[in-house]
Structure 1
Amino acid sequence: MDPQWINELIEEIGTDGVTINETALLQHSQDESHHPGVSPDVVASPKNTEQVATILRTASRYGIPVTPYGAGSGLDGGAIPLHNGISLDFTRMDRILHFSPEDMSVTVQPGITRLALNKQINSHGLHFPIDPGADASIGGMTATNASGTTAVRYGSMRDQVLDLEVVLADGRVIHTGSRAKKSSSGYHLNGLFTGSEGTLGIITGITLKLHGTPEHLIAARCTFPSPKACAEAAHLILMSGIPVQRIELVDSESIRQVNAYGQYAFPEEHSLFFEFAGTKGGVEEEASLAEELMKDAGCSHWERAAGSKERSEIWRARHELSYAFSHIPGKKMLGSDVCVPLSHLADLVVHARTLIEGSGLLGGVFGHVGDGNFHTSIVYDPKKPHEREKALHINEELVLKALQSGGTCTGEHGVGIGKKKYQVQEHGEAAAVMASFKHLLDPEGILNPGKIFD
């Protein structure tokens, strides 16, 4: 390997911003996914947009791959540097650049995490609502078009982005929008770069919409005899017009695993979790109406709580679910997601449960049933290749069923490595159009190569 480009990087951004330390290389070789890690040649940690542009100009000149790295919490290999090169770590770019409470907007660097952002803005009566579960970086959430438990009310990252500052492969810096709440001017570049997973440009600034903090919150939980009954009950809530803030399904196997993990005693039945937010009177009325609807639908174990500690306890089984599956000694977890039209959700959830039970593997089905997005967590023994193959087969069968139902291969995890092979099947001729955008903006193919498209 010609070290000249590494020497140039060190000269341009300093020894504190470039490392070939083995521990750092190992850390940046993988994310939270099941995909095998690949070490970069160097880790570069820029402080600002100018340094990112400098890194990309150098990478372009030498043809060096560049893979962005945020919090490393991705679930489909988006941050793995498949072709080595530079892992672009945004840990040092974690500041709020402009906060305008009166405009209900904020501009941040990509390395700030969602919890750190909310900690700084909550005292102004504002919050950023997108919650993918992990304390992901805002840059990573934008790159994957993340959503999470609040998507039923607030949508995804794409719905929250007003403007992006993006460094292109050749070092040019562009803005994709403005601080205005809407625009009819030009092509919708916000939508193009949000969800592009670092394959079209490197995001160095994100201007986001903010929302008022609700006056009152109520959490609730109930159980049903089957996953299908849960999904149908969730659809009933949505059809009623109740503006629920969160509505989540967790199947009985997942509850059982959470109980074993935390030594809890939650009812080991298929469960729905709710959160209602707004004014005190309105929320109390919405929660009461939801209770009436759920009991008419045949639920059991209805619980509700308004205090913060009690709300956390009700939601504990949902919040600790991923840890319960991923911390089984000697096992690995393969997590995946699909999203389908609401009318197909119940059938897909049943299909997922049937596939897992037929495989003989331990696994759970859960997700954001308010918008048709659900997940599977499947546990396998890494020393037994046939178990991993079974887990991958379940994932593939679910994706194919989702596509047949008019859905998508991923609702929020991103394409990364694992969902590349479904792009043509899902998008048809539009996949070629997307590939042409990639070639136009990154003709040398240095930006996160091997992701979304080969």
Structure 2
Amino acid sequence: MEAMWDAQGSAGNADGGAQELIDALERVVPGRVLWHAADTSEYSHDRSHHGWAPATAVVRATSTEEVAAAVQVCRAARVPVIARGTGTGLEGGANAVPGAVEPATGIAAQRSRAVIIDLRGMNRILRIDPDSADATVEAGVLRSELNPVLAVHGLQFVAGPGVDASIGGMAATRASGTNAVKYGTMAENVRGLTVVMADGAVVKTGGRARKSSAGYDLTHLFIGSEGTLGIITELTLKLAPTPEGRTLTVLSFPSVDAAARVVQRCLQAGVDLARAELLDTAQIAAINAYSHTDFREASTLFVELSGEARSLEGQAARLDAIADAQGLLERRRIDPADQERVWQVRHDALPAAQALRPDSYTWSTDVCVPIAHLAQCITETQADIESSGLLAPIAGHVGDGNFHLAFVLANGDDAERQRAAALYRRMIRRALSFGGTCTGEHGIGEGKMSDLIDEHPTGVPVMRAIKRALDPEGLLNPGKMVDLRGD
């Protein structure tokens, strides 16, 4: 498809065609359009190592109507549109592409044709119904903003990663995080959506009812679609009661295998795990250095139990017995006043890993496998890391069979990057051979498109057909999820 304009002008100036687009955007979202490369660069990439280029313009929307109007302007100009929340993704899902770029530095060589629609200004909590345990929010609301308001009603929104991502971005990537073992992913915690389609039309999906058999499940079609089918602007959320009590125990083991098997045995025995996080020795060492903690440098579990206070003691006793049977090295009960601080230490695992090595960047990736294969999958991945000579700490949501590997790579070292790529491919193939998936929660973005084909060779053509049906001109977040040139 021929573009109606070209945005390959200088870093600080738009060319004539791009200026017409910018002027049109200014008319529908006055005073909130950025177009200088120095300004748009901040919005043009996520936290991943994948390539990006400064977007031609950024629209800072504050309503569904403004998003729809901006999409209509871009469609008329045949300009790609990328929705963006907080930019915390790890697979380039919100990156502006194409553009020649050095992955280690993120320095872009040319402008991207895309327009970014920044949803952070859509940050209103529209409705809370404590009796129905649901709420409706705009896409830019952060979980850290929502939960203090919900706490007044004895409620919480539990889905989402450790980073403070936007609710809309979490739905777009089908995020999960540490609470998923008990409460599920975003897919289980969203009841309805408002979505702006590729032509600017506004569609509402789902509703507030706890169940429905009304037609195609459009809500779950858009959840996890990474902005390639539509732009999520509002969400109706399922809420959970705040638990009466919580315990957090840090357990050290002689091996990752032993730690993973503790979680497997707990699930088999019906221990009500709220969170179960595994960190290998390299990751614990990184955390100790970065967060000034003194955890034993061994394969470690952070295990949280939650529920009625009278049941927690019995649950903890069952956890202790299972841990002892797997060769427990050390047990540390965390004081309730320190629990949030310790969980923040866990959430800081990625920056802690990068801090192990100066002048480096991280390539963070994840896989997910059936629980029965988790110990073997992690152990074999650790062996690959050791033989490769790479620095790559492991952390994982082991209650779900999901683990993350963070390559810490030297800037500009192509040989090291190639070794990491080879190890990454082995990890993906191993996960798929166990009946797992190439990504438990990071998403596909631009980084895992070929892995998606390996995982779902018969499903990807169906995904392409859906993409073509809903976005026939291919303007919504192009170059992500599925490659329309592939068939």
The alignment yields a C-alpha RMSD, in angstroms, of 1.3
Task: Look up the equivalent residue of 2:432 and give its one-letter code.
Answer: L
Q: Which runs of 4+ in 1 moved over 6 A?
A: none
**In structure 2, what is the Cα distance between the partners aligned to 1:275 and 1:134?**
18
1:111 equivalenced with 2:152 (yes/no): no
Give the aligned partner of residue 276 of structure 1: 305
- Structure 1 residue 283, shift from structure 2 partner: 1.3
Candidates 347, 371, 390, aligned match of 1:342 = 371
Q: In 2, distance between residues paired with 1:61 and 1:316?
A: 45
What TM-score comes out, normalization by structure 1 length? 0.97
For the residues of structure 1 that align with 2:351 and 2:313, how far apart are their CA atoms? 32
After TM superposition, the structure 1 = structure 2 runs for residues 23-102 of structure 1, keeping only pairs within 5 Å, are: 23-83=38-98, 84=112, 85-102=114-131
Equivalent pairs counted in the alignment come to 452
Q: 1:37, CA displacement in angstroms?
A: 2.2
1:67-114 per-residue CA deviation (whole Å, 9 max, x = no partner) reads 111001000001101143201101210111111111111111111111
Structure 1 position 316, deviation (Å): 5.7
Aligned mates of 1:397, 1:114 — CA distance in 2:
35
| Partner in structure 1 of residue 190 of structure 2 | 161
Q: 2:316 — aligned with what?
A: 287
Structure 2 counterpart SS, 1:204: strand
Q: 1:320 aligns with which of 318, 329, 348?
A: 348
For the 8 Å contact 2:58–2:118, the answer to whether it is kept is: yes
Instruction: State the partner residue of 1:6.
Output: 22
How does 1:125-274 map onto structure 2 within 5 Å? 125-274=154-303
Equivalent residues of 2:369, 2:401 under 8 A apart: yes
Aligned counterpart in structure 1 of residue 467 of structure 2, from 417, 438, 442: 438
Give the TM-score, by structure 2 length.
0.91
Q: 1:28–1:87: 8 Å Cα contact kept in structure 2?
A: yes
Q: Does the aligned pair in 2 maintain the 1:352–1:365 contact within 8 Å?
A: no
Distance 2:420 2:123 in 1: 37
Identity value in percent = 40
How far has the Cα of 1:314 moved from its partner?
4.8
Return the offset for 1:247.
0.5
CA contact (8 A) 1:215 1:278 kept: yes
Separation in 2 of the partners of 1:275 and 1:180? 31
What is the aligned counterpart of 1:393 among 414, 422, 430? Answer: 422
Amino acid at match of 2:43: H
Counterpart of 1:195 in 2: which secondary structure? Answer: coil
Distance 2:341 2:478 in 1: 43
- Residue 428 of structure 1 corresponds to 457
Conserved? CA contact 1:224–1:270, under 8 Å: yes
Q: Secondary structure at the match of 1:103?
A: coil
Q: Deviations over 1:8-52 (max 9, x none)?
A: 11011102x211133321101211001122111000011101111
C-alpha separation in 1, matches of 2:89 and 2:240: 25
Q: CA deviation at 1:400?
A: 1.2
**Residues 285, 163 of structure 1: CA spacing in aligned structure 2 closer, same or farther, 3 A cutoff?**
same
1:362 to 370, 391, 394: 391
In structure 1, distance between residues paired with 2:347 and 2:330: 19
* 167-176 vs 28-37, which moves further: 28-37
Structure 1 runs not aligned, ≥5 long:
none
- Asked whether the 8 Å contact 2:384–2:423 carries over to 1, the reply is yes
Distance of 1:226 and 1:242 partners within structure 2: 22
Matches of 2:349 and 2:396 in 1, distance apart? 11
Shift of 1:130: 1.4
- For 1:317 and 1:301, the matched residues in 2 are separated by 19
Matches within 5 A, 1:374-389: 374-389=403-418
Where 1:203 maps in the other structure, the secondary structure is strand
What one-letter code is carried by the residue in structure 1 that aligns with 2:348?
A: E
- Deviation digits for residues 47-72 of structure 1 (CA, Å, limit 9, x no counterpart): 10111111111111111000111001
**In the alignment, residue 88 of structure 2 is paired with which amino acid?**
S
User: Is residue 217–residue 306 contact of structure 1 (8 Å, CA) maintained in 2?
Assistant: no
> Which of residues 33, 36, 54 is equivalent to 1:18?
33
User: Does the C-alpha gap of structure 1 residues 232 and 104 become closer, same or farther in structure 2, counting only changes over 3 Å?
Assistant: same
The residue that corresponds to 2:446 in the other structure is: 417
Bigger mean CA offset, 62-71 vs 354-363: 354-363
Separation in 1 of the partners of 2:214 and 2:69?
30
In the alignment, the residues of structure 2 paired with residue 249 and residue 171 of structure 1 have an alpha-carbon distance, to the nearest angstrom, of 44
